[in-house]
Amino acid sequence: MNIETQQLQDLNAKNLSTHKSQFDFLTQTLSNSDVDVDQVIKKLADFQVAIPSWALGAGGTRFGRFSYGGEPASLEQKIEDIGLIHKLTQTAGAISLHIPWDVPEDYNAIKELAALNKIKFDAVNSNTFQDQKNQKETYKYGSLSNTSAAVREQAIAHNKEVVEIGNKLGSKSLTVWLADGASFPGQNNFQTALTHTQNSLISIYEDMPADWKMFIEYKPYEPYFYSTVIQDWGTSLMLANGCGERAYTLVDLGHHLPNTNIEQIVSILMLKGKLGGFHFNDSKYGDDDITVGSIKPYALFLIFNELVYGMQNNPQNPELGWMIDASHNLKDPLEDLIQSLEAIQEAYAKALLIDQEALRAAQENNDVTLCQEILQTAYRTDVRPLVQEARLKTGGALNPIAAYRDLGVRDALIKTRGKNTVATGL
Ligand code: LRH
Ligand code: MN
């Protein structure tokens, strides 16, 4: 399935005048508050989010999985699907692979196909939370933290292999998420588990190419339900500091206990120069991995406020890795990813409208009411014309979901792939 630029231009033409009048009205409104609209649109156009290779098919839970029809059955088809999303949104210019779910067979062919679809290879993800066929040691009782040196060695070797695979594709970062933990009090010695994990991560870190980064992802619980070795941002930061200056913390929005102030975590990590990247999703209860901005859009906006402040004031923090990490149990996976991308762009655009200087002044004066007024004025601004203008300028669809449906993408995928193909992943 390929989407021609002309098809998009024809679809956009139907809504162009409406868009123009909405965009002109907003530009007029924003000119009163010294917002550099062109700069906001440039930042939106340059903002690229990596799509997880494990979230292009229907996801499931232990209670069941309902397949979606036309799912990608190979890494090639996954890259093609991301190419479709990128064509429509112009903000999905990267893929994040999960190994061994998506090991390339022909590296050159995969790199050519990715280049053809204008897709870069972002962070690669290791997997020591499942046992692979013919695997010598089991990860049932942990991997990098395991009491058995043989199991730790196997997990370290896997991570080094993942780096090699990523290196051949042009990726420059490794994401390590460990399920390691315990489901019962007394099951683990917390200190031994953390010490093993630190030493194992150091061994992986020291083996990485000099221009690579390591992202250490934390999570409070699941799949184990009493303790997780890398349970929170503090533990991840400690381990990153223990590895070295190219190790950072990765924030998965779903990996926080209810009501955690994630924007404060983001702000502190940027101040310390240790925020490496994000896994965007949303949740109401646990690690629900649902559409970004579908439950807590204001929280997402507050996180982007700290990101914008950090990107303007914390040169000590590296360029961030932006990734989605979601699972699609009900919606068309591609529509769900498009909605997540739009929610991310809108939160970023609203945060770019915040008058950071006025906010700093109000904070210094403890003018609490004015602080909220400044934030909410930005949040209450309908920024969709800005996001649409950025897409228009980069050759995307004014309305990606409508275009996806008008072009009959899912039907075309089912026609070529059938109803029963199943994508690897969660
Ligand atoms: C763990 C996680 C991690 C991935 C997995 C697919 O919950 O967020 O980032 O390895 O999901
Ligand atoms: Mn994640």
Residue 426 has pLDDT above 80, yes or no: no
Residue 54 Cβ contacting ligand 1 at under 6 Å: yes
Give the number of domains in the chain.
1
d(CA 377, CA 114): 40
> Looking at the domain assignment, is residue 282 inside a domain?
yes
Residue 181 resides in a domain = yes
Return the structure tokens found at 40: 């906001």
State pLDDT tens for residues 363-379: 999 999 999 999 999 99
Query: Where residue 170 sits, what CATH number does that domain have?
Result: 3.20.20.150
**Domain assignment present for 302:** yes
Return the bridge partners of 124, or none. 174
Identify the band that residue 67 occupies on the pLDDT scale cut at 50, 70 and 90: confident
- Cα 158 to averaged position of ligand 2 atoms, centre (Å): 19
**Structural domain contains residue 29:** no
Asked if residue 136 belongs to a domain, the reply is yes
pLDDT at residue 61 tops 90: no
Q: Which atom of ligand 1 is nearest to the CA of 250?
A: 9
Q: Which atom number of ligand 1 is nearest to the Cα of residue 98? A: 10
Whose alpha carbon is nearest atom 9 of ligand 1? Answer: 177
Look at residue 68 in the predicted model and tell me its pLDDT. Answer: 87
Residue 20 CA to ligand 2 center (angstroms) comes to: 38
Which two three-digit tokens encode residue 13?
Answer: 């033409």
* C-alpha span between 63 and 7 (Å, rounded): 41
pLDDT at 284 exceeding the cut of 80? yes
Per-residue pLDDT tens over the stretch 181-200 = 999 999 999 999 999 999 99
* Confidence (pLDDT) at 60: 87
- Structure token pair of residue 194: 């953390």
Average pLDDT, integer, range 397-405: 98
| Residue 353 included in any domain | no
Give the per-residue pLDDT at 310.
98
Instruction: For 262-280, give one letter per residue: b (16+ CB within 10 A) or e.
Output: bbebbbbbbebebbbbbbb
Q: Ligand 1: does its nearest atom lie under 6 Å from the Cβ of 279?
A: yes
Q: Is 237 in the pocket of ligand 1 (CB under 6 A)?
A: no
Atom of ligand 1 nearest to the CA of 426: 6
Which ligand has the shortest distance to the CA of 177? 1
- From 252, 281, 290, 324, mutation site for ligand 1 pocket: most ligand atoms within 8 A of C-beta: 252
Q: How confident is the model at residue 89 (pLDDT cuts 50, 70, 90)?
A: very high
Residue 422's pLDDT is: 86
CA of 190 to the centre of ligand 2 (A): 23
- Averaged pLDDT, 114-137: 97
How much distance in Å is there from the Cα of 54 to the middle of ligand 2?
11
Domain membership of residue 18 (yes or no) is no
Query: Which pLDDT score, from 0 to 100, does residue 215 have?
Result: 98
- In which element (H, E) is residue 321 found? strand 321-324
Kindly state the average pLDDT of the residues 40-59. 96
Is 289's C-beta closer than 6 angstroms to any atom of ligand 1? no
Residue with tokens 């009959």: 408
Band (34; pLDDT cuts 50, 70, 90): confident
The whole-angstrom separation of Cα 324 and Cα 241 is: 25
pLDDT band of 221, cuts 50, 70, 90? very high
Is ligand 1 within 6 A of the CB of residue 219? yes
Per-residue CA distances from 297 to 233, 252, 364, 415 (Å): 22, 15, 27, 36
CA distance 334 to 323: 15
Mutation test residue for ligand 1: of 124, 126, 217, the one with most atoms within 8 Å of CB:
217
Residue 298 in domain: yes
Average pLDDT, the chain: 97
99 C-beta closer than 6 A to ligand 1: no
**Pair of tokens at residue 49:** 């989010």
**Each residue's pLDDT tens digit, 132-175:** 999 999 999 999 999 999 999 999 999 999 999 999 999 999 99
In which band, very low, low, confident or very high, does the pLDDT at 214 lie, cut at 50, 70 and 90?
Answer: very high
Mean per-residue pLDDT, 261-271: 98
Residue numbers of the domain that contains 242: 48-345
Q: Coil, helix or strand for 299? A: helix
